[in-house]
Amino acid sequence: MMTPVLLSATLLLLLLPGAPATNSNQTPIKILVANSLANAPNQTYSTSLAFRGILLGGMRRLQDSNQGFSFYYTEDPNYGPFLVCVNGQCGCTAGRTYWELLVIKENNELIRPDVGIGCYIPCANETIILNYNSY
Ligand code: B12
C-alpha cells in the first residue's frame, strides 16, 4: 500500500510535461528517401526511436523490420557515422554526390541539421529526409 505522499509524488511525475515515457519505443518518425539528381519516386517508411534516441538507431530498427530499407555508413574519426549508401544507391567523392540529411519538423519547418545520423536526435512525428544530392 502506497503512502499518500508517495502516491502524490508518483502522480506528479506522470503528469509533468517532458517526463520520460516509460515505454522506450514511443518516438515515431518517418523516413523519406528522395533523389534530387534523378526522377525517382520518393519512398516513405515508418520507424521509431528509444526515448531521446539517435536517428541511426531508428534507421537500424527500420532496416531490421524488412520494409525494404537498407543503408551503409562509414565511421569518420572526428564526426562519427557518415551515411554513404541508401537502398543500394551510394554517394561518391569522384562524382561529388552524397546523401544529404534534411528534416521536416512537426510544424512543417524544413531544416538541414548541422550534425549527422549518429548525433541527430529526432522529435516525435518528424519526417527525416535522406536526399541523394550533389555538392
Ligand atoms: C566539405 C564538407 C562536406 C562534404 C564532404 C565531401 C568531400 N568528400 O569533401 C559533404 C557535402 C559530403 C558534406 C556532407 C555533410 N556534412 Co559536412 N562538411 C564539410 C566541411 C565544409 C569541410 C570538410 C573538409 O573537407 N575538411 C578537410 C578534410 C581534409 O578533412 P577530413 O576529415 O578528411 O574531412 C572529411 C570529413 O569532414 C567528412 N565529413 C564532411 N561532412 C561530414 C559530416 C558528418 C556527419 C561526418 C560523419 C563526416 C563528414 O568528409 C570530409 C571529406 O572526406 C565541414 C566544415 C569544416 N569547415 O570542416 C562540414 C562538416 C564536417 N559537415 C557537417 C555536416 C553536419 C554535414 C551533413 C550531416 C549535412 C547534412 N545535413 O546533410 C552532411 C553529411 C550527411 C551524411 N551523408 O552523413 C558538420 C559536422 C558537424 C558534426 N558534429 O556532425 C560540419 C562540421 C559543418 C557544420 N555544420 O558545422 N560535408
Establish if 102 belongs to a structural domain.
yes
| The dihedral formed by the CA atoms of 34, 36, 37 and 43, expressed in degrees to the nearest 10 | 10
Establish if 16 belongs to a structural domain.
no
Give the distance from CA 38 to its chain's centroid: 24
With a cut of 70, say whether residue 12 has pLDDT above it. no
CATH number of the domain enclosing 74: 2.170.130.30
In the chain, the number of structural domains is 1
Looking at residue 21, its pLDDT comes to 47
Establish if 127 belongs to a structural domain.
yes
What lines the ligand 1 site, CB under 6 Å? Answer: 76, 78-83, 93, 98-101, 112-117, 119, 135
Establish if 7 belongs to a structural domain.
no
Range of weakest confidence among 17-31, 74-88, 115-129: 17-31
With a cut of 80, say whether residue 15 has pLDDT above it. no
Per the structure, the complete domain to which residue 57 belongs is given by 23-134
Q: 104: closest CA among 30, 18, 13, 8? A: 30
pTM, two decimals, is: 0.90
With a cut of 90, say whether residue 11 has pLDDT above it. no
Closest C-alpha residue for ligand 1 atom 3: 135
Q: 55: closest CA among 35, 33, 81, 87? A: 81
Task: Give percent above pLDDT 70 in the chain.
Answer: 81
Say how far apart CA 6 and CA 120 lie, in whole Å.
37
Q: Once rounded to an integer, what is the mean pLDDT over residues 2-27?
A: 52
Cell numbers 517508411 correspond to what residue? 45
